[in-house]
Amino acid sequence: MLTRQSIHIAMLLWSCIFCVIVGVCILFVKYYDKRNRNVMACIMFGMALLLISDSGAWAFRGNTTYSGFWMVRICNFLVFLMSDVVIMMYHSYVCVNLFGGNYSYEIKTFIKKLPVRAVCGYYVCLTGIALVIISQYTGLYYSFDSSNRYYRCAGYPISLIIPLAAMIIDMSLLIQYRKRITTILMVSMISYIVLPVISAIVLFFYYGISLVNISMTISVLFMFMVSIIEQSKKAAQKEKELYDIRTKMLLSQIGPHFIYNTLSTIKILCKKNPELAAETTDEFARYLRGNIAALDNDRLVGIDNEIRHAECYLSIEQKRFGDRIKYRLNIRDKDALLPSLTIQPLVENAVKHGLIKKEDGGNIEIKSYNDGHYHIIEIIDDGVGFNVSDIEAIGMEHVGIRNVKSRVMDKCKGELLINSSEGKGTTVTIRIPV
């Protein structure tokens, strides 16, 4: 026979299942940024533990057996504990969205960048967690009667006031920094404050159903739906930005000066050495095809493909500058996968800003090897070198070093490092996790 209690327990268990399913889905959504995804998943799994604990507290309420004695105590403890833990997770979600920026720094650095009020929010939540633990030994919040039924104690209002204080802090942050997030995202986060507060006010006068937990579940599911929409928009925007980057890189790589200089070289060779002119024309055609193909290629390519493209460029430049440009390949690792147009722009930088500025030119070496942890690619030149802190001053941004660095980071979770000494040369290193 259905009773109000059995319906209540069923609602809590189904809500728990929904939260677990959503939490698992979040972990497998690829376009979710890492920190936002982790916080939202923690909220979902925290809510799931809270709800199943609440259902257990109701199911074993009044059960005087040995197992019932302990289950009521454990479940009620987890209900109070996870309520404060989830509030702290929600506070983290607010902080990440308002102050997270590009999420590229560590947690300690992130916390240091928070306003004092936001840091206070964490202390308020930690205080609530500490008081829940203390309450187990002092009966501050609640206790149990002889029939193993939960009842509130004199300090129970404190258990409502502390989360309310944390929510007031979050509300003030959302209002003050509202321009940093979209309206729909702000509404979803405010719903997590408003609905539980209304439920808590009702619950303060009437105890008989877990209104706060149910309202929290509704709010976090709403937050999840909004976050998915927001992350989808961000992913679409990022794809557009990457396309624009590839377009700009293509244009920079086949700029008018390079085309003019190459065609001039071919024109001269047609008179002096027709066979070499034909060879240069073929190389130039392969070079252009490589750049154009890269415009629509969003997949990673093998290092062999990148090396061939860089060799086309170097061979053309050797026709122009003769012995002033020399290069050699030392490719020991052929398993690395890279975004298209990664190595050639770095080689072009070495030629334009390293070798050509030396009267006698110089040498370029392209190396690849595997150190067990990373695929490592190095472009080494013995050109004029430069001050690493003054990259923009020498015009390296024009040929897309920043774009290469961004794509290596986004597509391969790798990094690009530059080491240079004036008068000695430059080494550009790409490291991609194995």
Q: What is the pLDDT of residue 206?
A: 64
Written as one letter, the residue type at 398 is: H
How is residue 115 annotated by DSSP?
-
Domains in the chain, CATH or no CATH each: 4-235 (1.20.1070.10), 254-433 (3.30.565.10)
Burial class of residue 267, CB neighbours in 10 A (0-12, 13-18, 19+): exposed
Helices 34-59 and 66-99 meet at what angle, rounded to 10?
A: 160
Strand pairing partners for 300? 339
Q: What is the pLDDT of residue 85?
A: 95
Angle value at C-alpha 364, between 360 and 367, nearest 5 degrees: 165
Per-residue pLDDT of the chain (434 residues; tens, 9 = 90+): 567 778 888 888 998 999 999 889 888 877 677 778 888 999 999 999 999 999 999 899 889 899 999 999 999 999 999 999 999 999 999 998 898 754 444 566 677 778 999 999 999 999 999 999 999 999 999 999 989 998 889 999 999 899 889 999 999 999 999 998 889 989 999 998 888 878 877 766 666 667 778 888 888 889 888 888 887 887 777 777 766 666 665 555 555 667 778 888 888 889 888 888 888 888 888 888 877 776 666 688 899 989 988 898 898 888 888 889 999 999 999 899 998 888 988 898 888 888 988 888 899 999 999 998 899 999 999 988 887 766 554 444 444 677 788 888 888 889 998 888 888 899 999 999 98
Distances (CA, A) of 56 to 51, 73, 74, 133, 356: 9, 10, 9, 19, 76
Q: What is the pLDDT of residue 106?
A: 59
309 alpha-carbon distance from chain centroid: 31
Burial class of residue 100, CB neighbours in 10 A (0-12, 13-18, 19+): buried
Burial class of residue 323, CB neighbours in 10 A (0-12, 13-18, 19+): exposed
